[in-house]
Amino acid sequence: MNDQPFVDFAGRRVILTGASSGIGRAIAIELARRGASVVLVGRDKERLSETAAQMPTPPIDVWQLDLADSSSVGEGVLQLSRKHGRFYGLCHCAGLVETRPLSSLNAVRLRELMEVNLTAGIELAKAVTRRDVCTEGEGSLVFLSSVYASVGMPGQIAYSATKGAVLAAARAMAIELARRRIRVNTVSPGLVHTPLSDTALARLTDEHLKALEAAHPLGPGSPEEVARVVTFVLSPQNSWMTGTDVVIDGGFSAR
């Protein structure tokens, strides 16, 4: 009988973006609880320090990085691996969200969202899966997508486009990396109140916000609920799970 814990990272090293608040912070805490050695990545060093202070075990490193410019990602990951050893996984949680109707959408803002939500994640995946960076014979990448990648929503054209691209890229990546036993999956949350999402939702009227919340049969979710799902999907115990999108949205997409 296998008495190994259901989710146990046993010291495996994981890079986590978007770790300064919200869902990313909750994932950092949950990963540390499950034995992972975590590198926290985010723009705000002070808020990253706040995340580190809430973790049951401290992160192995804190990387202050603005993913709006992903040109330094490859070299940064290589230096981290030389410093700490090979990496088991990556969770790309960082993302930009904005509520903006088609009439006010512009190409510059679309590119900004695409750079952080998609391009930076691909650059990170490319760096983490280098043969001199990743662990041999196992690996796991998880990208945060959104139910808006599959369910239309007014004002979310740019955001939905980037998250749909994340789904497509992850599926292709899963097939390409399977021969190396590196798994790639996505997690798609519905409405979760975080500082980032609440800033975007501030553009909605109270009536529209109440209607959006009501469209989730179980109500809005919490960062901790999403973090537990992400940690499960990322974990080495799920060695047969790849190319999958796990939806956690309180029933929103089941309507």
pTM of the model: 0.94
Cβ atoms within 10 Å, residue 232: 18
Confidence at residue 152, expressed as pLDDT on a 0 to 100 scale? 85
pLDDT at 3: 62
Does residue 2 have a pLDDT over 70? no
CB under 8 Å to 136, separation ≥6 — which residues?
86
69-83, 93-107, 180-194: least confident range: 93-107
Query: What per-residue confidence (pLDDT) applies to 1?
Result: 47
Domains, the chain, with CATH or none: 13-247 (3.40.50.720)
d(CA 111, CA 43): 19
Distances (CA, A) of 103 to 110, 138, 199, 249: 13, 46, 20, 28
pLDDT digits (tens, 9 = 90+) for 72-100: 999 999 999 999 999 999 999 999 988 88
The pLDDT-based confidence of 101 (bands split at 50, 70, 90) is confident
Q: What is the token pair recorded at 8?
A: 């146990």
Residues labelled as active-site residues: 159
